[in-house]
Structures are given as C-alpha cells and as structure tokens.
Chain A
Amino acid sequence: MRRGARVAAPLFPAAAALGASFGVLARTAHMDAPAAIVMSATTFAGSAQVATVSVLGAGGGVAAAVAAALLLNARYAPIGISVAKSFRGHALKRLGEAQLVVDESWALAGGGTARFDRRVLLGVGATLWFAWVGGTAAGALLGQAIGDTSAFGLDGAFAALFVALLAAQLRDRARITAAVAGAVIAASLIPLTPPGVPIVAATAAVFVGRRRT
C-alpha cells in the first residue's frame, strides 16, 4: 500500500486541482457544498461527477443526470472483472477495497495483467481519494475565489496522464493492436452514442488484439 501511495504522490496536486474544479462546477450548477463533497467521497469518479452536475446545471433533470453518470462509470464493471482474482477475503472487505478502483489506480497497479498488484491499487486509490475529496471541499467552499478553472488546462493534463499510462502498456504487438482498435472504436462511437458508451465498447478491442497474435 505504501508503494502505491508513493507511486500516486506525484499525481496528488493534479487530482486535488481537478477535485477543486469539480467543487467549483458543482456550486455553479446549484449543488451545495456538502452534496458535492459527499459525492466525491462516495462516487469517486471524476467524469461521471462532472456529467452529473453538468446535466443538472443545464436543467436536464435527475434521470438524465443519473443515466449520463452511470454510462460513464459502466467501464468499472469490465475493469473490476479484470482484477477480480486479486481480491480475497470477506465480501465486505472486498466491497470496500473495490471503491478504490479508478482508472489511474487500476492502470498504475498493472491493469488486468499478471503483474497486477492489488496493494498498489489500494495505495494509489486511497491517495487519490484524499486528494479528490479534499480538493472538492476546497473548490466547493472557496469556489468564487478560484474563478474559471478551465484556464488551468486540467483537462489537457489528464489527457496527457492517460497518454503516459497507455504508453506504459504498449509492451508488445497484441497490446499495441488492442490499443489502436480501442482508439478507433472510441473515436467512431463518440458522434453516435452518449459519452461513456465509446469507452465500454472499446473493451471489444481485446478480441482484435488477441486474434493478431
């Protein structure tokens, strides 16, 4: 776990800043600070939370907000299955540990590979959780002082982070093929499906990667 915390430490400021930008966004969408903080502590998934408050802020209603968020989080079903065999012990313990699964903790701990290390996932997940919740609290409570967060380029920072996490995965031909296929599937579906679906559909790329080896 300590190794995971060390791995995640360099990401702490960025995760906290992104949390703060969510907190600011939540307040501008008329979500009060306690609700924003509770959401970060329980949902702990950036894009889904941003989608929720964006839909609510645009007057889209609860059902549309929930649907948008859960589609974005649907990828956690296949992601969780890919590391399921590393989780042992009482169901309640596994239930708690499962909540620390986020894209970054999963990828930094080895993804669904044989090298996957559950303790690294827990360390990274816990570290990012504190950054995310603390950042949200700061953003939600001090929002007005922070101003327009898009100027900070956090979206670009996280896109770059995913580039680095992806690069670490491209070790052989099968993985490169799967990545290319995943990117093509996602890009083709973005104009056709609601956000979230392109990422879940990209899981089909594993079949393409396997066939080519």
Chain B
Amino acid sequence: MSDAWLAVLIVGAGTFVLKAVGPVGVAGRRLPARVDQLLELLAPAILAALVVTETFAGGRSLVLDARLAGVAAGIAAVALRAPLWAVVVAGGAATALVRLLS
C-alpha cells in the first residue's frame, strides 16, 4: 500500500472516532447543568480560535498576509448585514485582489 493510501485510511479512521466521541459515546446521557452552561460558550470560543488560526497562522508562526484583507472585508460585510454568501465572496475577492497586487 502506498504512503498516501495508508495516511488516508488512518486519518479517516481517526477522524471517524473523534467525530463519534460526542454523538455516539456521550449521546442520551444527561450532562450536569454546569457542564451544559459551559458548552453553551464553546461555539464562540472555538470559532474565535478558528478566525485567528485561519487568518494569522502560517505553520508555527504568526504571519500577516493577504488573508487579513479577506477578514477585514468579511467584518465589513458582516457589519453591513450582508448575507453569508456575500461575506464569503467579499473575503475571497479581497484576499485574491491583495495577492494579485502584491
């Protein structure tokens, strides 16, 4: 088996298990109210981390590049209450434009 196929199989199996932890392992069980309250805050915490990593991470360093223009355009689009597709298009277009010009 080639390295590529081996990696596909192992990553696929590992991800399968990671995604199943909650819906299969924990499902139906009532979590303590305190845990529920904490989980309410998980989406803002993880999405903020994703914004930071998708914008500034370049491997193991913080970098400033064209993605920042995409995020700025995204913030502007969100502030203007643009629909989701327009936010995505604005982010992509701004990033592409900065890349084209630099």
Interface of A toward B, CB cutoff 8 Å: 10-11, 13-14, 29-32, 35, 38-39, 42-45, 48-49, 52-53, 56, 61-62, 65-66, 69-70, 73-85, 87-88, 91, 94-95, 97-99, 101, 103, 106-107, 110-114, 150-167, 169-170, 174-176, 178-183, 185-187, 190-195, 198-199, 201-207, 209-210
B88 contacts A194, CB within 8 Å? no
Contact of B69 among A75, A106, A156 (CB under 8 A): A156
Contact B46 A94 (CB under 8 A): no
CB-defined A-B contacts under 8 Å, sample of 28: A69-B7, A69-B15, A70-B14, A70-B18, A76-B15, A76-B21, A77-B22, A78-B42, A81-B21, A84-B23, A84-B26, A84-B27, A94-B23, A98-B24, A110-B43, A158-B54, A163-B78, A164-B88, A166-B47, A167-B78, A169-B44, A175-B44, A179-B47, A182-B49, A183-B52, A191-B60, A199-B50, A205-B48
- Within the complex, the shortest CB–CB distance from B5 to chain A, in Å, comes to 5
Chain B interfacial positions (CB closer than 8 Å to A): 2-8, 10-12, 14-16, 18-31, 37-57, 59-62, 66-67, 69-71, 73-75, 77-78, 83-85, 87-97, 99-100
Contacts of B84 in A (CB 8 A): 10-11, 161, 164
Contact of B18 with A76 in the complex, beta carbons under 8 Å = yes
A206 touches B45 (CB 8 A): yes
> Of B6, B15, B18, B23, which one neighbours A95 at CB under 8 angstroms?
B23
CA distance A185 to B46 in the complex (A): 10
**Other A-B pairs, 17, CB within 8 Å; known A153-B97, A186-B52, A206-B39:** A35-B8, A61-B3, A62-B10, A66-B11, A69-B14, A73-B18, A73-B19, A76-B15, A83-B23, A84-B27, A87-B22, A95-B23, A157-B89, A183-B48, A183-B51, A190-B62, A210-B37
Q: Which residues of A are found within 8 Å of B94, using beta-carbon distances?
A: 153, 156
Min C-beta distance of A32 to chain B, whole Å: 7
> A208 vs B80: C-alpha distance in the bound complex, in angstroms?
30
The answer to whether B39 touches A202, judged by C-beta atoms less than 8 angstroms apart, is: no
